[in-house]
Amino acid sequence: MRLDRLVSEGSALTRSQAAKAIRGGTVTVNGVPVCRPEQRVDENTDRICLGGKPVCYQRFHYYLMDKPLGLITASRDREAGTVLDLLPAEVKKQGVFPVGRLDKDTSGLLLLTDDGDFAHRVISPGSHVNKIYLAEVEGTLLPETVLRFREGIVLKDGTECLPAKLEILRERTCLVTVQEGKYHQVRRMLAAAGNPVVTLRRLQIGALRLADNSEPGTWRQLSEEEKAKVFL
Ligand code: URA
């Protein structure tokens, strides 16, 4: 890849700032100062330094966010704020997008990445990645609803859902585990059972769980270990 692209993607610099830094002589490749932004480098083997510090180039980026209520899970929205508004410019420039969707009125665990294959593997029902939601509902949760979820509940419009797990924690509080992500899926499943959702929060994707003291609106990079947990 081009040296200016690698320096830009591995630092907070824009592409033109990176080119300027290279021309200014602050970038070395394997210890040798270089001044041509268009020089080709190998991101796997070449050691690139900017101002004496190694540039950590990553092919793909992975973030965990605790989505707050009120933001849309989209990359762009004309009227409402999106989850990307929480990220600084240097992360946005990586081209990250949300992995699947949480409704505006749902909070909790949301992954963001620029790795399309990873996103597809998380979302696709064929990957069997569990998504666990904590719901507060209206009415009383009934044991027979557990069975209906297990067999694959039919939504009010006739849509058949894949088998899902409902755990009743209290009269109006439950955990719902699904592997698919239809539009408003958990809300519609619980509404079909006569328990409209009051609040909904995603706690877990695969074996990756939000910390109990996680604060909505916070985000951070995902470690390699956490990334692997998504598929456990
Ligand atoms: N199901 C819903 O109904 N809403 C969400 O945000 C996620 C799953």
pLDDT digit string, tens, across residues 46-100: 999 999 999 988 899 999 999 999 999 987 766 678 999 999 988 998 899 999 9
How high is the pLDDT of residue 27? 96
pLDDT at position 56 is 87
Q: Which residue's alpha carbon is at the smallest distance from atom 7 of ligand 1?
A: 102
Contacts of 90 (CB under 8 A, 6+ apart): 12
- Do 29 and 46 form a contact (C-beta atoms < 8 A)? yes
| 200 within ligand 1 shell (Cβ under 6 A) | yes
How far, in Å, is the centroid of ligand 1 from the Cα of 95? 24
CA of 154 to the centre of ligand 1 (A): 16
Phi then psi for residue 62, to 5 deg, are -140, 130
Q: Using the atom order of ligand 1, give the atom closest to the CA of residue 105.
A: 6
Which spans in the chain are helix H?
Answer: 3-9, 15-23, 89-92, 116-123, 143-151, 185-192, 224-229
77 catalytic? Reply is no
**CB of 106 closer than 6 A to ligand 1?**
yes
CA 181 to ligand 1: nearest atom: 8
Work out whether the CA dihedral 74, 110, 152, 171 comes out positive or negative. negative
Whole-structure pTM value: 0.90
- Tens of pLDDT along the chain (232 residues) come to 999 999 998 888 999 999 999 999 999 999 999 999 999 999 989 999 999 999 988 899 999 999 999 999 987 766 678 999 999 988 998 899 999 999 999 999 999 999 999 999 999 999 999 999 999 999 999 999 999 999 999 999 999 999 999 999 999 999 999 999 999 999 999 999 999 999 999 999 999 999 999 999 999 999 999 999 999 9
pLDDT of residue 79: 67
Q: Assess whether the C-beta atom of 185 lies below 6 angstroms from ligand 1.
A: yes
Q: Which atom of ligand 1 is nearest to the CA of 189?
A: 3
C-alpha 188 to ligand 1 mean position (Å):
9
> Ligand 1 center to residue 103 CA distance, Å?
6
- Strand ranges inside 156-196, DSSP E: 165-170, 173-178
The ligand 1 atom nearest the CA atom of 102: 6
Nearest of 87, 68, 69, 6 to residue 215 by alpha carbon: 68
Q: Of these residues, 46, 66, 85, 103, which one is catalytic?
A: 103
Ligand 1 site, residue 103, Cβ cutoff 6 A:
yes
Evaluate: CB of 102 within 6 angstroms of ligand 1.
Answer: yes
Smallest CA separation from ligand 1 atom 2, residue: 184
Q: Atom 3 in ligand 1: which residue has the minimum CA distance?
A: 184
Do the beta carbons of residue 4 and residue 18 sit within 8 Å?
yes
Q: Which amino acid is at 158?
A: G
Please state, rounded to an integer, the average pLDDT across all residues of the chain: 95
What is the Cα–Cα distance from 68 to 219, expressed in whole angstroms?
Answer: 11
pLDDT tens for each residue of 186-195: 999 999 999 9
